[in-house]
Structure 1
Amino acid sequence: MQELYDMAFTRHERAAAKRGEFAAAWGTYVDGHPWDIDVRNVNPCTLEVLAVMREPAPVEMALIFSEWLAALRAALDNGLYALAATLSGRNPPPQAERIQFPICTTPREFKQQSNRLSMLPTHVVEALEKSQPYQSPYGPESNLTYWIHELARTDRHRSLHVGLGRIDAHRIRIAVPPGVKIQFDETVTPYRQIEGELIVGRFTCSRPIAPREVQADLRGVAIAPEIQAWAGFTLNGSTQSLQDRMIYTEIFTRNHLENLAAMGNVTPIGGFTTIDPGSKNDVSQVRMAE
């Protein structure tokens, strides 16, 4: 059943290609300078600098992200199907229509889904349970496999995911009339997505000043891509760029696929990069590829 595994790993590789397409589409989008700078008075002496979205991210980005999600979700399902076929020696395996890689947020939900996997040996179901999002110490939403399922489910049944800009680097310069002293409000740390507009700076002047007297230079503000529904994600308590999240998600997905291949005594395309098949297989563990 090597060819079934090969197809699952090929789907996974397709996701990396889609990530590259997503980055290229983002580059084209930002080349059009889709954000403006606005300066407004809070009071006569205090002003705010805002990044204002002039043009939303193109639907093309949402479509590419959709294809990235679909490739990863399908790879997991294909990998489990390949294992079921290998263990049964039949293609299609018994009850093939019931086979889907389970991604659950509670033990109860996993128990319900595992009832659909009666064609698999107990040790395989137990291994799958170890990888479930509810096993994560920081909660299900800190698990990248959870997000494959959640984002793909929303994408399939509701709507494409909205692309946004996110402040990744924050350094602004302000020019004011001679003799005016300014003090920046250091509590403004806008490391988040721009939804319509976002305050990127606030400062107080030594005398009343109008916005037209201010020149704002935002070349030190870096805006990276973001997906609205995924913007609040943290990994081990830390925020990650969308690019890093996508890469880590691909690594974790490959880890699941490699464990499925190891349980079927099959060598995946590219060999084993996230597990040592000579040791006890444990899908809750990931050795990051260097």
Structure 2
Amino acid sequence: MIFETAPAKINLTLDTLYKREDGYHEVEMIMTTVDLNDRLTLEKRTDKKIVLKVENRYVPNDHRNLAYKAAKLMIDKYDIKTGVTITLDKKIPIAAGLAGGSSDAAATFRGMNRLYDLNLSLETLSEHAAEIGSDISFCIFKDTALCTGRGEKLEHLPKPPACWVILAKPDISVSTQEVYQSLDLSVPHATIQTATCKQAIIDGDYTAMINALGNRLETVTIEMHPIIQTLKETMLKAGADNAMMSGSGPTVFGLASKERQAKSVVNALKGCCKEVYMVRMLG
């Protein structure tokens, strides 16, 4: 029996550069992990079945699930003769812009590697991960990285300056595909300061890092769901050092250097958002 944790991610920056011939957008973004985790248990089976156990009724337990796809890829690629039972304890909100599904898949890749003594490097697992999803390669490492291409090309960065992260997930779901389809690259927008944010992380400069936060998709999703703007404003008024939407949304995160700041933000959000988490940056 193997245990794996699958941490959520946030985007400190997210820029979309152009539409690629394969239909994806070329992205440039900095992602890091936070201390909100799904937990997975993997056990060998005597047959060749993949059984995914998850209590959340909104999470599929078949081939539609990225963790299932990860297990199948490993079984097929390495000619594994037995199956696996994966028990998923879901804590990360679903369809939230926090890469919960991708992180579960990454944990499955790491878990299958250990369960079957394959001795594969994280780099090899990351290459496999790119075959089934864009964010999974990043999630393999559970660190901080500048991600380019579809998100699968990684330049690993140091751990960001320590801080509190407040996550607010409104009671809506957002389709990443719909957000990207609605993105008009010809519309003028504020410059996304990815290079500045990268340097701030390297320098350990918290102030420079929070001032460089930016997400090209934010205005698109806010137009669909104005509650995101309300959550941002609530966080900032309550004392967050900065606040931004993660990924394609709808989760908004606020950063705070002090615990009392973070608690003040959490209290301010209680009236307008049911799912609020106060966690630490991992990275």
TM-score bin (small chain)? under 0.3
Larger radius of gyration: 1
Q: TM-score, normalised by structure 1?
A: 0.24
Greater per-residue helix proportion: 1
TM superposition score normalised by structure 2:
0.24
